Every structure is written in C-alpha cells, then in structure tokens.
Amino acid sequence: MQTEILNLWVKCYQSNPEANLRLFCLPYAGGGASVFRLWAQELPLNVEVCAIDLPGREKRMGEKPISNLESLTEILVEVFLQHLDKPFAIFGHSMGALIAYELSRKLQQKNINPVYLFVSGHSAPNVPELYPPIHLLPDAEFTEKLSKIYNAIPDTVLKDKDLMELFLPVLRADMTLVETHIHSQSEPLDCPIFALGGLEDKEANYDSLVNWHEYTRGSFSVQMFPGGHFYLNENRQALLEFLSQTLKDL
C-alpha cells in the first residue's frame, strides 16, 4: 500500500515531535478520529496522541467502511509499520478495544509490542455476548436496538433523516465487524493490559473486564470510572488523568 494512502489512517491533531511516546487511539462503532481531538491538550507533553481515522466517517466519509476485522487489522499492521520511530501504546474503546487487541496480536507476531494496551468498554473475548446480533436487522429495528441497548446514536442524529442515511452504513459495517468476528486461540500478549470501563456500563462491567487478564503475560489491572458505556465522553477528565499518571514517566 502506498505511503500517501497509509497516511490517511493516522490523524495527529497536535503534532508533537519531541514526545517520547505515541498513543494510538481507536474509536467505538460509528465514531471517528475526532473522538480524541482534545486529548493531546490534556495528556503529558511526552505523549503524542494519534487517532486512527477509519474509512467511511468524517473526512473519509466517501470511502466504503470495512466490515471485516481480519481485513482491517491487516491494513493497520501496515500503517503501524510506518510509525515505529518511537515507543507506542494503544487505546481502544468498545469496537476500538476489539480492534486494538487483534492488532496487538498481529504486531506481536512480528515481534512488535506496545508499551501498554488499554482495552476500554469491551468485555474479554471469552465472555459471552449479552445481546443477540443486530447487524442484519432492517434499518428501523437496527436503529432502535442501537439506540436503546447501546445508546449509540445521539438524539440529534436520530431526528435527522439525512444524517441517519449517512450514519447507518457505517454503524452497520461496524456492528458487522464486531458481531461476525470469531476469536481464535493464540499466545497471550507480552505487553501489559489495562482494562477500563464505566461503573454503570452493563455491557462491559467489572466481571467481564477482569477476564482480560487471561490475554497477557504482562501485568494487568482493571480501572473503573463513573459513567456508562460512553464514560470516556461523559467523564473524559477522570480517564485522561488516569492515562496521564500511567504514561507520564515512560
């Protein structure tokens, strides 16, 4: 893949060449790089925040979203190989956590490991799903389930038919990616894992997060924050304070 195409995938809102660590961030279903737009302003100066800009949303709206996790992570490995000039950590929330974990597995096969892997708002792969798959449902039912179960669509978007027409294909592709992925057994990761979640999140509660300890040979801990599934937006300050304390001395 050409370098200029690979560069579409990484968005650093505040370039920081003096940083000694790069934090790559992967969004939740339907989310884009802008979820992490303000993070660079609140994390330590030694950290450069780089959001992964997935196709089908925001400035890549005209591109077809990728609905297969294996295909996506193969591309992301190529992307990461272009950004190995300094140590890095990976943060992913919900769908992004699943992508981050599978990406870390592929990178480890190439003897490349993040300093830390932060898996947020997603239960460990060996925890059964709480809800039946929804990615094949008709639009109206699909939208209703996303809204009621996952609280994944803002009211302003729900009430705007034009926005929903743009938004639905991305959400359906993202849910397809998550719901059709079949986890295969492999060696645990060598990197430490932090499992993060919201105290009021029924989808990824403490008990489902603690199972992530089985997927690393490194250190492991669980950190819970006030808020629901989207605690990272509801209580961003607390999350960023935790990340700051964790990353500042690297």
Residue 44 sits in a domain of what CATH number?
Answer: 3.40.50.1820
Residue 145 belongs to a domain = no
Q: β-strand 10-11 against 47-52: which pairing, if any?
A: antiparallel
- What pLDDT is stored for residue 186 in this prediction? 86
**In this structure, is residue 173 part of a structural domain?**
no
Is residue 249 very low, low, confident or very high in pLDDT (cuts 50, 70, 90)? confident
Is the residue at 144 inside a domain?
no
Minimal CA–CA distance to 115: which of 47, 198, 207, 169? 47
* pLDDT reported for residue 152: 67
- The pLDDT-based confidence of 55 (bands split at 50, 70, 90) is very high
pLDDT at 185 over 80: yes
- Report if residue 64 sits inside a domain: yes
**Band of the pLDDT at 109, cuts 50, 70, 90?**
very high
pLDDT, position 5: 59
Query: Would 167 be classed as within a structural domain?
Result: no
State the residue range of the domain holding 199: 3-128+183-247
Q: What is the pLDDT of residue 42?
A: 94
Whether the predicted pLDDT of 4 surpasses 60:
no
Residue 56 has pLDDT above 70, yes or no: yes
Q: Is residue 152 part of a domain?
A: no
pLDDT of res. 113: 98
Residues annotated as part of the active site: 94
Give the count of domains, the chain. Answer: 1
High-pLDDT (> 90) share of the chain, %: 80
Neighbour order of strands in the sheet with 117-120: 10-11, 47-52, 21-26, 88-93, 117-120, 193-198, 220-225
Q: Give all strands (DSSP E) within 94-157, no chain letters.
A: 117-120
Instruction: Tell me the pTM.
Output: 0.95
The answer as to whether 163 is a domain residue is: no
In the predicted model, what is the mean pLDDT of residues 185-191? 94
Query: Would you state the pLDDT for residue 162?
Result: 83
Residue 204, domain member (yes or no)? yes
